Amino acid sequence: MDNRPIGVFDSGLGGLTAVRSLRQILPEENLIYFGDTARVPYGGRSRETLLRYARQDVRFLRTHDLKAILIACGTVSTTSLTTLQAENDLPIVGVVEPTCRRAAAMTKNKRVGLIATLASVRSGAYEACLARIAPEVQVFAKPCPLFVPLVENGRIHPGDIVIETVAREYLEPLLETGIDTLILGCTHYPLLSEIIGSICGPGVTLVSAGEESAFELKRLLKARELRADPRRAGTAEFCVSDRVEDFERIASLFLQEELRHGARRVDIEQY
């Protein structure tokens, strides 16, 4: 048994949906979350800048005695995961490969849809990963640039004409391609799964990025005998690099639970 915490980081607060999955799947584990809210979004940055940011994020998290790290950021997962794994002597799980493995396992007609931010779609990361692990799968990608701001403004409720109109515009052309599986390739999107699911209908299986990473981490901790005492209740601690004032409102939205305490501000440039 190993009761040391798991570190989780993302460019912003979207990765909190991965924290939510971790708390459901590994309720006995302690979690430390870092959201780089001062430098969000990572999407448009150069590879060098991304690696520098990711190294700082990891260095800060490792000021705690961690047993594993989950990278809840798609951009870092695809550009810097291998380097970070080589540089750090603890298990690090990304967000892209577990998701692609799940999608490849779920699709029957080998037609998989991908919705994500413009930067993630452009990076081609999910396509590249699927081409490697399941070359028979065809990927149909659709950037959904308004989903992140709409989610962050709380527009996640079925019946809201704004989010429903935007979601239908994004999804209907994608559904015409005949996909039977849809990757929600952005950590904000699980909050829209009810709306997305009702537009896609029962014939399309939704695969959420953060959730698959949480399952992957569970398997990995079990294999290495790093699981925490199952009788304990895990805690969660939250750190951000920008102002903490908005944290509680947005975090409650992402975690779908009331927070007991707020976030701590970290000067990430110092790491």
HEC string of 5-30? CEEEEECCCCCHHHHHHHHHHCCCCC
- Interface with a second copy includes 266 (CB under 8 A)? no
User: Applying CB under 8 A, which of residues 38, 51, 131, 244 lies at the interface with a second copy?
Assistant: 38
Q: How many residues line the site for a second copy (CB under 8 A)?
A: 17
Q: How far is the CB of 219 from a second copy (least distance, A)?
A: 37
User: Has 73 been annotated as catalytic?
Assistant: yes
Smaller CB distance to a second copy: residue 33 or 42? 42
Amino acid at 86: A
Q: For residue 100, give the nearest of 116, 122, 87 by alpha carbon.
A: 116
Q: Binding string to a second copy for residues 144 to 163, with x set by CB under 8 A, is what?
A: -xx-xxx-xx-------xx-
Which residues does residue 32 pair with via DSSP β-bridges, in sequence order? 7, 237
- Interface with a second copy includes 203 (CB under 8 A)? no
Smaller CB distance to a second copy: residue 7 or 143? 143
Half-sphere exposure of 31 (CA within 13 A, CB side): 28
- Interface with a second copy includes 27 (CB under 8 A)? no
From the list 100, 129, 144, 186, the catalytic residue is 186
From the list 73, 100, 144, 239, the catalytic residue is 73
Smaller CB distance to a second copy: residue 32 or 148? 148
User: Has 144 been annotated as catalytic?
Assistant: no
Chain centroid offset of residue 210 CA? 4
Which residues does residue 139 pair with via DSSP β-bridges, in sequence order? 112
Which 218-257 positions form the footprint of a second copy (CB under 8 A)?
Answer: 242-243
- Interface with a second copy includes 45 (CB under 8 A)? yes
Smaller CB distance to a second copy: residue 33 or 170? 170
Which 47-76 positions form the footprint of a second copy (CB under 8 A)?
Answer: none
- Interface with a second copy includes 124 (CB under 8 A)? no
Residues that bind a second copy (CB under 8 A): 37-38, 44-45, 145-146, 148-150, 152-153, 161-162, 165-166, 242-243
| Residues classed as catalytic | 73, 186
